[in-house]
């Protein structure tokens, strides 16, 4: 009798387990049949950024005077991180590679990456931090050998990440249209410094990498221009002509950077 009851209990539990398994399978199939949730760009997720006049000031030497105003347009957690990052900027003009490879540099660049992927005000905040950082680090080629240009190229990589993610999207947005072009100019200034770093000859590898990036961003010689290319043509026609011609583009962008950002000298303005 006891063995029969035990058998019935075991059978009941087996049926319940089988039923639960079938229910989970049906639920999984039903869920997979549902349409995927629509992905929304961060810029469109809320009511939209309030007006922020003269965004170019955020990449000028006087940007710090408006950081609270820009932070007010960000989500609270990102605003706090943005303001904290301003306090991490170095004050003793260290070499770029050593600072970027240190703990403060890692923390700073993580914040920049998070802001870059956020709303337009956050992306502008990220760019304002990079512009300020480029004025606080020493990246003018120094020393001997192949490492002379490493500081400029490491800093250029930070601008490159921002440009790759936001410049094309922001080419016709109020906060990012003009500032995206200045980001490209700052990047070109740094890459040109790295290219010219060797004492006796130009670094052809750096030049090749720069040319590939410019082609990816602007497609200036393609049948259909990018929005960023159209924006550059309107704001920096000489540099755009060099891109279209396929010769001297990095030099032309560097020349424009020297005119627009004369204090971006790699020596902290000393």
**Main-chain dihedrals φ then ψ at residue 95, nearest 5 degrees:** -65, 140
What confidence score (pLDDT) does residue 178 get?
Answer: 96
What confidence score (pLDDT) does residue 145 get?
Answer: 53
CB atoms within 10 A of CB 237: 10
Distance CA 132, CA 127 (A): 9
Local structure of 117: helix, strand or coil: coil
Residue bearing tokens 């936001």: 166
Distance CA 75, CA 49 (A): 11
Decide if 175 contacts 119 (C-beta within 8 A).
no
Distance CA 244, CA 231 (A): 14
What confidence score (pLDDT) does residue 207 get?
Answer: 86
Distance CA 77, CA 208 (A): 40
Residue (of 129, 131, 135, 122) closest to 107 by Cα position:
129
pTM of this prediction?
0.81
What confidence score (pLDDT) does residue 23 get?
Answer: 47
**In Å, how far from its chain's centre is CA 120?**
12
- Dihedral sign for Cα 194, 198, 199, 202, please: negative
| Full pLDDT tens readout for the chain, 270 residues | 444 444 444 455 444 444 544 444 444 444 344 443 343 455 544 334 468 999 999 999 999 999 999 999 999 999 999 999 999 999 999 999 999 999 999 999 999 999 999 999 999 999 999 999 999 999 988 665 556 788 999 999 999 999 999 999 999 999 999 999 999 999 999 999 988 876 656 677 888 899 999 989 998 666 677 899 999 999 999 999 998 887 789 999 999 999 999 999 999 977
| HEC secondary structure over 179-246 | HHHHHHHHHHHHHHHHHCCCCCCCCHHHHHHHHHHHHHHHCCCCCCCCHHHHHHHHHCHHHHHHHHHC
Residue (of 155, 126, 156) closest to 58 by Cα position:
126
Q: DSSP 3-state helix, strand, coil percentages of the chain (rounded to 5)?
A: 70, 0, 30
What confidence score (pLDDT) does residue 222 get?
Answer: 67
What confidence score (pLDDT) does residue 190 get?
Answer: 96
Distance CA 37, CA 204 (A): 46
What confidence score (pLDDT) does residue 84 get?
Answer: 98
Local structure of 131: helix, strand or coil: helix
DSSP one-letter code for 86 = H
Q: How does pLDDT run across 34-71, given as a tens digit for each residue? A: 443 343 455 544 334 468 999 999 999 999 999 999 99
């Amino acid at each position: 009798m006891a063995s029969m009851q035990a058998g019935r209990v075991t059978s009941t539990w087996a049926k319940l387990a089988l039923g639960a398994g079938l229910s989970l399978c049906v639920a999984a199939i039903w869920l997979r049949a549902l349409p995927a949730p629509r992905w929304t760009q961060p810029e469109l997720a809320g009511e939209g950024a309030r007006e922020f006049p003269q965004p170019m000031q955020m990449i000028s030497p006087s940007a710090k005077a408006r950081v609270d105003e820009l932070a007010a347009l960000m989500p609270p957690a990102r605003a706090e991180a943005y303001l904290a990052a301003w306090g991490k900027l170095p004050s003793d003009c260290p070499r770029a590679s050593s600072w970027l490879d240190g703990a403060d540099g890692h923390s700073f660049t993580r914040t920049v990456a998070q802001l870059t992927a956020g709303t337009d005000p956050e992306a502008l905040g990220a760019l304002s931090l990079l512009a300020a950082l480029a004025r606080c680090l020493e990246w003018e080629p120094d020393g001997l050998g192949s490492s002379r240009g490493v500081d400029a190229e490491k800093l250029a990589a930070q601008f490159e990440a921002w440009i790759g993610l936001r410049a094309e999207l922001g080419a016709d947005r109020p906060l990012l249209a003009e500032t995206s072009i200045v980001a490209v100019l700052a990047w070109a200034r740094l890459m040109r410094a790295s290219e010219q770093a060797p004492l006796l000859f130009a670094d052809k590898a750096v030049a090749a990498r720069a040319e590939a990036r410019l082609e990816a961003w602007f497609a200036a010689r393609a049948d259909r221009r990018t929005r960023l290319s159209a924006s550059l043509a309107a704001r920096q026609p000489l540099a755009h002509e060099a891109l279209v011609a396929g010769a001297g583009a990095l030099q032309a962008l560097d020349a424009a950077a020297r005119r627009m950002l004369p204090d971006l000298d790699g020596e902290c303005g000393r």
